[in-house]
């Protein structure tokens, strides 16, 4: 059952007196529980209007469904299939004019915090809270020779 709250889950921020004395991000990001609560606001629309608003075509309902299931690494894999910079896009992409601007939940209330969820998933993986990426097998190319044209 979707979370029918009209408002996004509030993202915690640094206290103004603290942030006035540092160069850290003002917004602190979602916790796991906050991310799941926000993901539960997604209606998983049949026509997926949010995807049509995304310039890189992120499979938004699919990655949000994984967040609902607490499969944050799976959500990351879905995002990374079309977006090479999810941590950046989750922070600086103008979601309010793109994917969130097309979100059906925005008709009555606030749209789903798609950018906030993307940021959470990327940070979760970057902070090593998910399965580590396996190093590919090293291949030796010592037996190959360069074409003569490259040696000239």
Asked, for residue 89, whether it belongs to a domain, the answer is yes
- According to the model, what pLDDT value does residue 18 have? 95
Output the six-digit token pair for 130.
């998910």
Tens of pLDDT, residues 12-33 = 999 999 999 999 999 999 999 9
Place 4 in a pLDDT band, splitting at 50, 70 and 90.
Answer: confident
Does 9 map to a domain?
A: no
Kindly state whether residue 79 falls inside one of the protein's structural domains.
yes
Predicted local confidence at residue 82, as pLDDT: 94
- Nearest to 10, CA basis, from 24, 33, 61, 140: 33
Range of the domain at 26: 16-151
Q: How large a percentage of the chain has pLDDT more than 90? A: 79
48-62 as b/e: b if 16+ CB within 10 A: bebbebbeeebbbbb
How far is 54 from 56, CA to CA, in rounded Å? 6
pLDDT at 128: 83
CATH code where residue 88 lies: 1.10.1060.10
Q: How many domains does the chain have?
A: 1
Strand partners of residue 27:
13
Mean pLDDT of 105-126: 95
**92-105 confidence digits (pLDDT tens):** 999 999 999 999 99
Is the residue at 140 inside a domain? yes
Lowest model confidence (mean pLDDT) among 28-37, 50-59, 71-80, 138-147: 138-147
Q: Is residue 61 part of a domain?
A: yes
How many Å separate Cα 45 from the centre of its chain?
19
DSSP string covering 87-144: HHHHHHS-GGGTHHHH-GGGGSSPPP-HHHHHHHHHHHHHTT-SPPPPPPPP---TT-
Q: Is residue 84 part of a domain?
A: yes
**Distance (Å, rounded) from C-alpha 90 to C-alpha 93?**
6
What is the rounded CA–CA span in Å between residue 14 and residue 23? 11
This prediction's pTM:
0.82
Q: Flag whether pLDDT at 80 surpasses 90.
A: yes
pLDDT, position 19: 93
If one compares 140 and 16, the residue with the highest pLDDT of the two is 16
pLDDT of residue 147: 57
Q: Is the pLDDT of residue 59 over 70?
A: yes
Q: What are phi and psi of 13, to 5 degrees?
A: -130, 160
Residue 5 lies inside a defined structural domain of this protein: no
């Amino acid at each position: 059952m979707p979370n029918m709250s009209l408002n996004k889950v509030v993202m915690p921020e640094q206290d103004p007196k603290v942030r006035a004395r540092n160069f850290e991000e003002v917004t602190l990001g979602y916790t796991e529980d906050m991310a799941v609560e926000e993901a539960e606001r997604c209606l998983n629309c049949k026509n997926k209007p949010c995807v049509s608003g995304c310039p890189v075509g992120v499979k938004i309902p699919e990655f949000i469904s994984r967040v609902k299931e607490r499969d944050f690494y799976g959500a990351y894999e879905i995002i990374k299939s079309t977006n090479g910079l999810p941590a950046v896009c989750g922070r600086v992409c103008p979601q309010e004019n793109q994917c969130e601007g097309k979100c059906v939940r925005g008709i009555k209330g606030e749209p789903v915090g798609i950018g906030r969820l993307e940021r959470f998933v990327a940070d979760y993986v970057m902070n090593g809270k998910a399965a580590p990426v396996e190093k590919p097998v090293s291949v030796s190319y010592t037996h190959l020779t360069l074409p003569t044209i490259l040696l000239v």
